[in-house]
Structure 1
Amino acid sequence: MKDFDVAIVGGSYAGMSAALQLARGRRQILVLDSGQRRNRFASHAHGVLGQDGRPPADIAADGRTQLLQYRNVTWIEAAVESAEQNGEKFRVSTRQGDSYSAARLILATGVRDGLPDIPGLEERWGSAVFHCPYCHGYELEQAALGVLAVGEISMHHALMLPDWGPTTFFINESFVPSAEQLRQLAQRNVTVERTPVSHIAGERAAVHLQDGRVVDLAGLFVATQLQHPVPLAQQLGCAFEETPMGAVIQTDAMQATSVANVFACGDAARAAGNVTFAMADGAMAGAAAHRSLMFEGLM
């Protein structure tokens, strides 16, 4: 079983950013990646300085090409199934049955987006159904937009969206707005629709209501529930933080988890994520892991 200084689980934007800092610190780095980027459903990435409007797969591919120019980086395409402490080291094992050892572990596993169970919603995810207006709102050209409520957390979405286009807020029986919330929505010129949603159809996002009416939209926004694809943080005993969108791995300002020498970055460790945030978190996690190795044992 080959031994590394740092093993990074996840080779998307956060994981590669962490690996880059460590590679430049001349440490032996292992990146294990299953190839399931969270934003693989989107055709273009926006709001990323220097990369605005590029296909996200191209951004990721360029990052990997640059990272692999460092001879001290090993990249293995594999899905990690388990992680455990093995004395002073960590052992990660893949579904293929291979195991690797490292002195530090960085979890950049990302999340999956759990959508409400409404017919037609999932098929339009990333093309006409979105979660981030900063990532997708500008391209909708100030056309009719909608917010599908999943709970009171969706008030935030509904109050944001008018800056990108006239907005309809589909309550969908998910919560009862207070008088103050209704006042705020009216102040932002948001149309409140109380009739439940039946399904989504059309070329973009035509919202069919249970009373037979149809509201045609250029884009529909919804707050997803964060789902962790592999339970590595749970296996290691890392603490989690509950958010309105689901639990995320708890980290400090240096991206350190509650377990010594385990760091976490990217969407798995923050409630609101995008490519820029993921890269920044990864850079911090990589630098922090390197620092912990540099100063280990010093008095």
Structure 2
Amino acid sequence: MKNKNNFDVIIVGGSYAGLSAAMALGRALRKVLIIDSGLPCNRYTPHSHNFITQDGEKPHKIAEKALDQVLKYDTVTIKKVLATTGKKTKNGFVIETEKGEDFEAKKLIFATGVKDILPKLEGFEECWGNTIIHCPYCHGYEVKNEKTGILANGEIAFHYARLIRNWTKDLTIFTNGKPSFSEEQHTKLVRHNISVIEKEVTSFNHKNGQLEQIIFKDNSMTEIKAIYTSPPFEQHCKIPETLGCELTEQGHLKVNEFCQTNIPNIFACGDATTPFRSVAFAVSAGNIAGAMLNHQLVEKEFEL
């Protein structure tokens, strides 16, 4: 193998969960390599919220400060490159990068996040993470009491309506087609003055990501300041699946309470493992993954 290096742990993904795991392992004197492609899940979002001590900070500023602190532990290094393949070996695992480099470790942590599959609607991507949002806990306070939409149908739309009504009563559901609510759900929406528009959506008018109108196929439009939606996603990195890691029905990496996957010596944490997508949750999960992985190492070493 060319450029082979051996580590206790390779962490694939160097955003909040990965860096949190790296800090726990660095403080445990473990030789750690972080491999990061530089595409965090929340790169579209201008500000991070609901993370104590960092509320309102720019996400990249949090990551830069975290990386600076992590790399002060001299057993931790980082490669800013895309990990492309992973293989099981006699002594652990080998991860190969897009540059053809091979790195070997006893154990792996995947903190690789998910990739949102954004609809091909004009203006959507420009507003995503700004005024087209997925989580009221992350973004709801900034658009409280504004004219707000929900771009969804059926159970997902109803769940959003029930939740978001806490932040605004000026709420409209855009089903982008025939509504699929139960009679009971429809009754509750009417009772709470939540209107439903089923016209097909074609685009969004905005200024620098700030929503102004939602545009329909019949060329009509509705003024709107924020829209909640939950686009489909896929795993950002396919290596865990090639190594045999199971996925949940929703498409997340399946882990236990200690961030262990079904494959021995492979851990996972952060957005790749949960629908609770927040910086605070990712940092917490990374800390658990790092500590529990180290716990496995010390147990094995003590038996030798």
Query: TM-score range with shorter-chain normalisation?
Result: over 0.9
Residue 190 of structure 1 corresponds to 194
Alignment of 1:44-193 (within 5 A): 44-149=47-152, 152-165=155-168, 166-173=170-177, 175-193=179-197
CA-to-aligned-CA distance 1:189-211 (integer Å, 9 cap, x gap): 32211222222113333111233
Residue 228 of structure 2 corresponds to 221
Asked if residue 290 in structure 1 is aligned to residue 297 in structure 2, the reply is no
CA-to-aligned-CA distance 1:240-282 (integer Å, 9 cap, x gap): 1012xxx010000100001000000000111231101111111
CA-to-aligned-CA distance 1:93-133 (integer Å, 9 cap, x gap): 00001010000100001111112332221221122211111
* Structure 1: unaligned runs, 5 residues or longer: none
How far apart are the structure 1 equivalents of 2:128 and 2:237? 22
Residue 264 of structure 2 corresponds to 260
User: Which of 197-206 and 286-295 deviates more?
Assistant: 197-206
Asked if residue 235 in structure 1 is aligned to residue 238 in structure 2, the reply is no
Contact 1:159 1:190 in 2 (8 A): no
Contact 1:13 1:60 in 2 (8 A): yes
Q: Counterpart of 1:58 in structure 2: which amino acid?
A: K
Aligned pairs, how many? Answer: 296
How far apart are the structure 1 equivalents of 2:137 and 2:254? 25
User: Which of 210-219 and 23-32 deviates more?
Assistant: 210-219
How far apart are the structure 1 equivalents of 2:85 and 2:67? 24
Residue 274 of structure 1 corresponds to 278
Q: Counterpart of 1:214 in structure 2: which amino acid?
A: M
Deviation of residue 185 (structure 1)?
2.0
SS in 1 for 2:65: helix
How far apart are the structure 1 equivalents of 2:203 and 2:154? 18
How far apart are the structure 1 equivalents of 2:41 and 2:159? 22
Q: TM-score, normalised by structure 1?
A: 0.95
Deviation of residue 27 (structure 1)?
0.7
Deviation of residue 175 (structure 1)?
5.0
Contact 2:113 2:272 in 1 (8 A): yes
How far apart are the structure 2 equivalents of 1:261 and 1:175? 46
Alpha-carbon distance change, 216 to 53 in structure 1, aligned in 2, over 3 angstroms: same
User: Which of 20-29 and 199-208 deviates more?
Assistant: 199-208
Alpha-carbon distance change, 176 to 99 in structure 1, aligned in 2, over 3 angstroms: same
Contact 1:150 1:223 in 2 (8 A): no
Contact 1:208 1:215 in 2 (8 A): yes
* Structure 2: unaligned runs, 5 residues or longer: none
How far apart are the structure 1 equivalents of 2:280 and 2:197? 34
SS in 2 for 1:40: coil
SS in 2 for 1:249: coil
Q: Counterpart of 1:183 in structure 2: which amino acid?
A: T
How far apart are the structure 2 equivalents of 1:174 and 1:11? 42
Contact 2:153 2:181 in 1 (8 A): no
Q: Counterpart of 2:147 in structure 1: which amino acid?
A: A
Residue 211 of structure 1 corresponds to 218
Q: TM-score, normalised by structure 2?
A: 0.93
How far apart are the structure 1 equivalents of 2:47 and 2:173? 26
How far apart are the structure 2 equivalents of 1:40 and 1:22? 26
Deviation of residue 136 (structure 1)?
1.1
Residue 30 of structure 1 corresponds to 33
Contact 2:178 2:198 in 1 (8 A): no
How far apart are the structure 1 equivalents of 2:6 and 2:179? 52
